[in-house]
Amino acid sequence: MLRRTFLAVLAQSKPRMNVLLIGVDDLRPELGCYGAKHIHSPNIDALASRGTVFTKAYCQQAVCSPSRTSLLTGLRPDTTKIYDLQHHFRGTIPDAVTLPEYFKNNGYTSTGLGKLFHGGLDDAPSWTIPWWGPNMRYDWNSAESRSRAQRIHEQLKAKNWTIEPTGSPAGTRGPSWQSVESNEDELPDNRTTAQAITALKELKGKPFFLGVGFAKPHLPFIAPKRFFDLYPLRKVEMPDYPEPPTGAPSFAGTNSGELRSYGDIGNGPISSEKARELVRAYYACTSYTDENIGKILNELDRQGLRDNTMVVLFGDHGWHLNNHGNWNKHTNYEKATNSLLIASMPGQKQRGATCDRLVEFIDIYPSFAEGAGLPAPAKVQGTSFVPLLNNPTAKGKPVALSQYPRTYEKQQLMGYSVRDERFRYTEWRKRDTKEVIARELYDYKEDPQESANRATRPELQSQIKTMSDHIDRLTAPSPQ
């Protein structure tokens, strides 16, 4: 009670805190501020120097829509019932209050640009000013944008909040990467950046929630040539553990189907030359997005808004670059679930810090609320990480939970994966009976490359029991 009273007084005595949420599609935590000296990311690194880098941040499911839905509702996938790219959460939890909607309900102007919710699944109730996407050939906050947002909303509702599947057969798309030498301003992410700069100018002087989503480095890897030039092909180093973990179930990995839908990939082995091209192109897109993020943060400074704006940057999940022979996301392995998260909040006691405590994407929602001095949001399943911004070594969560569905031998499975400070434990359960058909355990102290499944070792059975209990606790029926 005393803490809530203090936050309420704080909110009344100071200008209201703005929110800038920046999301990046498929950007894994491989940046300068994470120790990756081979990556050119000066703007994200500068943001990190003013905030906190979370090294053990985890998404709830390593694929776009389920991850973003969890982040923006503060709810786990088993509560939202969103496990794919086709269904909208309003069809399963119609009364949920999203993160931007929560701020809208508390007197903020909320608006979103670019990819925030998954493509085609925007949420009209979340926004004071309707969402804008880079395929819209008109300006932010236009009457046409408002009309289109309402039309999409009504169409989804009429179709029971479902869109058509978006998968493509192998080899049916264009090339997996492209270096662009002209017309940079017409690239979708450049258009999103321009709209974000306009929005910051227009929103200045009123409390706002601004969400900005970038598409790259999502496939296809398209970026201006100058970013490819940062990474000479001969100098690109490949991951040093391309083999699947020994003893892992065959269905734990992915067939990399998303990558294989591109015409220069297809089915069959991916050559070492092509793999090196892909890694280089991914890095080029990473640096391209870094520049766009820098433009927005520079505008935040020009408008005098930095000292009164909370900034959180996230990558919606990790990404495999041939790790364990996998490409894309779509697994419960560390490279898919460990995600980019950097937070910078005015007044935080430590800046330029690295925090190794466990956090989850469902924690972003309550963290913004606490940082703004607003009442704790009802029903969210995350916990605020604001205390870690003030003291990065403070006590954190015991585990972070991720999950991924699989079909194996006509059985519908759910892989529940918990990560603690040292181990990752995964149970593959039948979705109807909850029977466990496979287990994985990885020890990152002894095996940082996750090369061997240790779930059968007798000396680790106590650890497995503890982590299995965490899965039961975190997947228990929700009071929602």
Taking CA atoms, 430 is separated from 81, 82, 126, 160, 410, in Å, by 16, 17, 35, 27, 11
HSE (side-chain half, CA atoms, 13 Å) at 287: 21
Taking CA atoms, 110 is separated from 211, 297, 371, 404, in Å, by 8, 18, 17, 31
Beta strands in 17-82 (DSSP E): 18-24, 52-58
Q: Please enumerate in sequence order all residues whose Cβ is within 8 A of that of 293, keeping only pairs 6 or more positions apart, or say none.
A: 22, 24, 43, 44, 47, 214, 313
Q: Which residue out of 33, 59, 64, 355 is catalytically annotated?
A: 64
Task: Name the one residue in this structure whose structure tokens are 């606490």.
Answer: 370
CA pair distance 452, 421, nearest whole angstrom: 18
**Is 285 one of the catalytic residues?**
no
Alpha-helical runs (H) found in 159-245: 188-203, 225-228
**Is 330 one of the catalytic residues?**
no
Q: Which residue out of 40, 87, 88, 118 is catalytically annotated?
A: 118
CA pair distance 131, 154, nearest whole angstrom: 15
What spatial distance separates the first Cα and last Cα of the chain, rounded to whole Å? 23
Q: Token pair for residue 241?
A: 């553990």
**Nearest alpha-carbon partner for 120 in 68, 185, 62, 174:** 68
Taking CA atoms, 240 is separated from 108, 134, 256, in Å, by 47, 37, 18
**Would you give the distance in Å from CA 117 to the centre of its chain?**
11
**Nearest alpha-carbon partner for 390 in 340, 355, 359:** 355
Q: Are 53 and 34 contacting, i.e. CB atoms less than 8 angstroms apart? A: yes
Which sequence positions are flagged as catalytic? 64, 118
